[in-house]
Chain A
Amino acid sequence: MGRDTAAGVLLAVALVAGGTVVSGRATAFVRPGFAVAVLVAAVVLAVAGVASLAAGGDDGHAGDDHGHHGPGKVGLMLLLPLLLLQVVDPGSLGSTMALGGDNGVARASSTLVFPPLDGTGTVDLTFSEFLGRVFAEDESLVGRPVRLVGRVAGESDGSPRLVRFVIACCAADARPLHVVLDGALGLPTDDAWAQVEGTWDGTMTPGGEAPVVRVVSVVEVGEPPLPYEF
């Protein structure tokens, strides 16, 4: 690959990768701390790209590719994620990837000790905390009205659930968390984001994978700025 092509690829990577961070799109793919690192990497690549172009003008011999093969065609593969971002614009993981989960990640944290929920009234909980309390058999959760925000799944096949992904670094390591919704009427379609209020009376699904939440109200909401839990 010629130096100018290579410089073009570097600048394209810098621009699109940096752009996902600046526009806030990056949180659909990586955790926020990583987004900052992506931005730094983008700046480095931009500098390398501009320097490559600058070196081309007055450089009679090809200098650094001197006498050796440059990077092969495979470097063009770096354009694939950029094209996917620009054309498909995939967004955060949808409910299709949440099928068949067993909430294993929440079960792994069930050895944590949760202080009892204080106060009364409806409490906002993350999926991680809600399910952590469920698997830790927290008595203060039973019967307490809770509010959860997640994606609707299984609405079309009659087994409605609310799902949310937990990630450690990026969407490739996403693990789905889900609760089964009972008595849910007027759910938005699959993949829509919804805020669900309900209570858990201690009922689990027959296999014990997930709690069954009795739904009081459902409101369709927009995608939160941070679509994943950590």
Chain B
Amino acid sequence: MVRPWSISTRPTYLDTSRPGSGRLDDAQPVDRYGARMLGSTMLTRRRRWGFEAVVGVMLVATVLGRFLPGFGAGPRIRAWSTITVAIFLQALPFLVLGVLLGAVIAVFTSPERLRRLLPSRGVPAVLVGGSAGLFLPGCECASVPVSGRLMAGGVPAGAALAFMLSAPAINPVVLVATAVAFPGRPEMVVGRFVASLAVAVLVGLVVLKRDPAAILERVASLAIDRDTARWRAVVGAVRHDVLQAGGYLVVGASVAAAIQVLVPPGVLRAIGGVEVVAVLAMATLAVVLSICSEADAFIAAGFTQMSPTAQLTFMVVGPVVDLKLVSMQVGVFGRRFAGWFAPTALVVAIACSVVVGWWL
């Protein structure tokens, strides 16, 4: 009894988060000191402290908040908190929707069945993946975990990523929101649809060309254990994806919120006059603000002094590359992959917006 308890007196919610510590089914489980564990009851006892630590931290925070209202936070800290919490709360339903959908795909479909749904050749598969984005009425927080699970389930990376890029931009909810934001300017809706679909397909084709081994390696770790009961597998997938994608979502949200609070809003308006600068400024703004794709059209429409091309750039870049999204992609696909994927997607998105913007 001595050894496991001596471990559990430490803040074990940190211990248990060490890589590999979730691996309790290893033939010879070891604790952090390399000692063999004594049996599964000990393991359970040790792990329970993680739960209690979380509960304890939340209780202390709640009591602190009661006795020190506001905690002496200044207006900027409060604004940063409001925006961080707002992005988190707003993204939560979409994250859960995407994670549930991903878990169901992972547990209830077999790789063979998924492959049969798609054309076997690369280019048609990417086209189908991109067009399938029409049918996920959510925002980008939903599509990242879904595409990770699709890939783990055997869908070619190019097709799954084309789906990930197109879904938040061309689904009906977003298109209707765009039409409402630009009353009397249906060409903005058409332009957004065409440009976003083009971005998804082009980036999907780039992925097809490049050897995506780097992501597949990471995504393979998402594979589901088919020996466990299905409900347990669904719960496990939901828990894993909410924590992994959600944790990175919060990282991205807090950085985006900090920039919103620190950068004066007039900076961008001052450079609306020069077209090239305006397009680049709106692309930068889309990356930094990390706004949900269902809201970005309203923001774009508010930049009345910007050209339609610059406004379109904002709406095409945002759902494809933004801080919270890149952060989530790092979590789901790994740093190396996100490191080239995000810049590639950004360049393609700006190029497509400028080309489509010509006709506006």
- A residues within 8 Å of B by Cβ? 1-13, 15-17, 20, 26, 28-30, 34, 37-38, 40-42, 44-45, 48-49, 51-53, 55-57, 59-97, 99-102, 104-105, 107-109, 111-112, 167-173, 175, 191
Contacts and interface: CB of A to CB of B under 8 A. Distances in A.
A73 B232 CA distance: 22
Interface residues of B, number: 108
Contacts of A89: 65, 69-70
B44 to A, nearest CB: 6
Contacts of B291: 169, 172-173
Contacts of A53: 51
Nearest to A8: B54
Contacts of A29: 82, 85-86, 89-90
Contacts of A5: 13, 16-17, 47, 50-51, 53-54
A186 B86 CA distance: 33
Contacts of B55: 8, 12
Interface string B75-91: 11111011111111110
Contact of A72 (B17, B49, B69, B183): B17
Instruction: Decide if the interface of chain B is mainly helix, strand, loop or mixed.
Output: helix
B83 A171 contact: yes
Nearest to B300: A108
21 contacts: A3-B239, A4-B49, A5-B50, A8-B54, A29-B90, A40-B93, A41-B92, A61-B24, A64-B235, A71-B243, A75-B246, A80-B254, A86-B62, A88-B81, A90-B79, A90-B81, A99-B264, A105-B301, A168-B181, A169-B294, A175-B302
Contacts, number: 326
Contact of A93 (B82, B90, B232): B82
B271 interface: no
B61 A83 contact: yes
Nearest to B228: A63
Given A10-B242, A67-B225, A88-B70, A26 B25 contact: no
B181 to A, nearest CB: 8
A172 B334 CA distance: 27
Which 8 residue pairs across A and B have the least CB separation, nearest first? Answer: A64-B236, A70-B22, A5-B50, A75-B243, A8-B54, A2-B16, A74-B247, A171-B86
* Residue of A7, A51, A77 with highest tally of chain B CB at under 10 A: A77
B89 A170 contact: yes
B58 interface: yes
Nearest to A43: B96
Interface string B52-70: 1111011001101100111
